[in-house]
Structure 1
Amino acid sequence: MIPFNKPYLTGKEAHYMYDAVYTGKLSGNGKFTKKCQQFFESTYGFKKCLLTTSCTDALEMAAILADIQPGDEVIMPSYTFVSTSNAFVLRGAHIRFADSRKDHPGIDEDSIESLITDRTKAIVPVHYAGVACDMEKIMAIAAKYNLLVIEDAAQAIDSYFTFSDGTVKALGAIGHLAAFSFHETKNIISGEGGLLAINDDRFSKRAEIIWEKGTNRSAFFRGEVDKYGWVDIGSSFLPSETIAAFLWAQLENLDDIQSRRKQHWNTYYEGLKEWAEKNNVGLPQIPNFATNNAHMFYLVCESIEQRSAIIERLKSNNISAVFHYLSLHKSPFYNEKHDGRELPASDFYSECLVRLPMYYELKQNEIEQIIEVIKA
């Protein structure tokens, strides 16, 4: 059986978790939390980082920091995971769903401006498959209308965007705020886990308070105040030290993990490109402003029937392949709240995209087997 995903262990996770347990500091914001946060800040240029228990938590923190109030509008793609939307709906926002690009499941940047009203508060681009949205275009729109940009970079660790002047920035370092995931299906994992990246200094102090249940506890431990108390809203967003310790083992092996995944991605692409062209099947496209972090490899079929046939053929050969998101604007929860616009590209990806197995320990001969089954 070739599973769709298999979590990769570098070998040091248990050692570091043991270390965390026997230092007597388990509740979070200990040495492993600090090591991870410093790694992200120094490696990717995020101004301030806070580990969270999930990407969902990071998005919920971002919604609080953005001061989303009932009736505010937030623009995001319909083709995304429900957490992207839930974080803002929980604050009372109305979601203005945008369609996807025809050449990529990411948000259609050219559709954003037409969705802006006097109630719009934020734009939430989702870097699908770790491939950048056109952040130069999105940031220009945001600046024009004085909007916040919150990057949903759940899948986008170690991926970059190149601006027209040649400047290169890591995804998550461009918007005012950004959220990452370390769920077991991601490139770098901690079982569950996430990260809030803060790139606008006006949010840094408050983010730390929200992260610490609405208290100024972190400032107290740094000796900046003589006592701490309840100063704002917040929740228990920070993860335990065991989660951070697990994540640290992964970060130490980031380059090796990324190199192996890119090899897998390239093997798929080279093995399937001729077949895909003959059968009118789309392969992942990487725009010239983006890099590929090899988070996933997918096919875009002609029809739902073709996709179902491919999934069934793979299943009959003990290979697990899965489809991905269902358009949120058509979901049972939001269908009646949506403004009625058709979003054909989002619906097309919902019906026709299939994801192939992708994980560190996937073997070359297994990828070749998957390719041959598809071709057959």
Structure 2
Amino acid sequence: MIPFNKPYLTGKETYYIEDAVRSGKISGNGKYTQKCQKFFEDLYGFSKCLLTTSCTDALEMAAILINIKEGDEVIMPSYTFVSTANAFVLRGAKIVFADSRPEHPNINEDTIEPLITSKTKAIVPVHYAGVACNMDKIMELAAKYNLYVIEDAAQAIDSFYTGRDGVKRALGSIGHLAAFSFHETKNIISGEGGMLAINDRQFIDRAEIIWEKGTNRSAFFRGEVNKYGWVDVGSSFLPSEIIAAFLWAQLENIEDIQSRRKQLWDTYFTSLAGWAAENGLALPVIPEYATNNAHMFYLICSSLGQRSRLITKLKEADILAVFHYISLHKSDFYNNSHDGRELPYTEKFTDCLLRLPMYYEIHIDRVIKQIMR
């Protein structure tokens, strides 16, 4: 069986976990948490990083930080995972869904401005497949209408955007806040896990408080206050040292992991290009301003029927390919709250996008041969 995903172990995960256990501290914000956070700050230029138990938690922290409340509106793509919307719905916001680009599942930046009202509080671009949205356009709109930008960078570790100014910036370092995932399906993993990246420094102190259950505990342990207590809303967002220790082993090997994944992605692309063209399928598109972190490889089928037949053919050969997402604007939960606009490209990707198996140790030739049979 070739599964859709298989977690890759670099070799030191259990060693660092044992080290964390033997240190006598396995609750959050210990040695490995701090090592991981500093790694991201140094390598990608985030002002401050806080590890979380999931990307979902990081998004929920972001919603709290920008004071989302009942009646606020948040613009985001419909083609995304439910966590992107849930984080803001939980605070009382109304979600205003935008369509995807014609050639890529990312939000169509040109459709955002007509959706902005006096109630709009934030834009949440999702860097689907680790490929950048057009952040120049999004940040310009945010500045024009005094909005926050929260990058959903769940899939976007080690991916970059080159702006009109020619500067290359890490995804997650451009918006006011950003959320990353280290779920086992991502490039860099810790089983479950995530991170909040803070680029607007006004949020740093409060983020630490929210992260620590609404207390100023972090400031207390740094000696900045002589006691700590409940000073704001918050929750238990920080992960244990066991999760952080596992993550550290992955981060030490990020170059090797990324090199292998890019090699696999390129093999898929070059091997399937001719077959796809002959059979009416499209391959992923990488805009000029974006890099490819090889988070996933997908096909855009010509119809729902073609996708279903391809899934069945692969499954019969013990190869698991999957589809996602189901459009959020037509979900059972939010359908009645959507404003009724048609989002045709979102629907196209819902019906036609197929993700192929992608992991470090995959026997990719077998997948490719079966697809082209």
Does the alignment reach a TM-score above 0.5? yes
How far residue 165 of structure 1 moved from its aligned partner, in angstroms, is: 1.6
Question: 2:272: which partner in 1?
Answer: 272
- Deviation at 1:48? 0.2
Deviation at 1:79, TM superposition (A): 0.2
- The equivalent of 1:94 in structure 2 is 94
Q: Deviations over 1:151-199 (max 9, x none)?
A: 0000000000001121000000000000000000000000000000000
Partner of 1:52: 52
**Cα-to-partner distance string for 1:107-132 (whole Å, 9 max, x where unaligned):** 00000001000000000000000000
Partner Cα distance (2:211, 2:132) in 1? 27
Q: Match for 1:374: what amino acid? A: I
- For 2:14 and 2:185, the matched residues in 1 are separated by 19
The DSSP-based 3-state class of the residue aligned with 1:88 is helix
CA apart distance, 1:85: 0.2
Q: Distance in 2 between matches of 1:266 and 1:373?
A: 18
Match of 1:203 in 2: 203
Indicate the residue corresponding to 2:228 in structure 1: 228
Total equivalences in the alignment: 373
CA offsets 1:68-104 (integer angstroms, 9 cap, x no match): 0100000000000000000000000000000000110
Q: Distance in 2 between matches of 1:337 and 1:345?
A: 20
Post-superposition CA distance 1:245-270 (Å, at most 9, x none): 00000000000000000000000000
Q: What is the SS of the residue equivalent to 2:337?
A: coil
Q: TM (normalized to structure 1)?
A: 0.99
- Mapping 1:22-33, distance limit 5 Å: 22-33=22-33
* Structure 2 CA distance for aligned equivalents of residues 195 and 356 of structure 1: 26
Are 2:362 and 1:368 equivalent residues in the alignment? no
Q: How does 1:138-153 map to 2 (within 5 A)?
A: 138-153=138-153
Q: Unpaired runs of 5+ in structure 2?
A: none
The structural deviation recorded for 1:375 is 1.4
Which residue of 2 is the match for residue 243 of structure 1?
A: 243
What are the within-5 Å matches in structure 2 for residues 190-339 of structure 1? 190-339=190-339
Hey, what does 1:76 align to over in structure 2?
76
Say which SS state the counterpart of residue 232 (structure 1) adopts: coil
1:295 is aligned with what amino acid?
A: H
In structure 1, distance between residues paired with 2:68 and 2:360: 39
Q: One-letter code of the match for 1:127?
A: H
SS across alignment from 2:196: strand
Match of 2:34 in 1: 34
Q: Distance in 2 between matches of 1:212 and 1:43?
A: 25
Structure 1's consecutive aligned runs of 4 or more residues displaced over 2 angstroms after TM superposition are none
CA distance in 1, matches of 2:368, 2:141: 41
Cα separation, 2, equivalents of 1:234 and 1:20? 26
For the pair 1:350 / 2:350, whether they are aligned, the reply is yes
Query: Aligned partner of 1:112: which letter?
Result: I
**Aligned match of 1:173:** 173
SS of aligned partner of 2:335: coil
Q: 2:256 is matched by which residue type in structure 1? A: D
Matched letter for residue 206 of structure 2: R
- One-letter code of the match for 1:372? K
TM-score (norm 2): 1.00
Q: 1:372 Cα deviation (Å)?
A: 1.7
Paired residue for 2:13? 13
Deviation of 1:286 (Å) = 0.3
Q: Corresponding residue for 1:112?
A: 112
Q: Note the C-alpha offset of 1:284.
A: 0.5
Q: Which amino acid aligns with 1:226?
A: N
Match of 1:322, SS state, is coil
Q: Distance between the aligned counterparts of 2:190 and 2:365, measured in 1? A: 29
* 1:324 shift after superposition: 1.1
Q: Give the Å deviation of 1:309.
A: 0.5
CA positional deviation for 1:367: 1.4
SS of the aligned residue for 2:61 comes to helix
- Amino acid across the alignment from 2:358: M
Q: For 1:180 and 1:132, how far apart are their aligned partners in 2?
A: 14
Alignment root-mean-square deviation, CA: 0.5
CA–CA distance in structure 2, aligned partners of residues 164 and 99 of structure 1: 24
SS in structure 2 of the partner of residue 178 of structure 1:
strand
Give 1:368 shift.
Answer: 1.8
- Secondary structure at the counterpart of residue 150 of structure 2: strand
Between the aligned partners of 1:78 and 1:40, the Cα distance in structure 2 is 29
Distance in 2, Cα, partners of 1:233 & 1:309:
50
> What secondary structure is seen at the aligned counterpart in 2 of 1:323?
coil
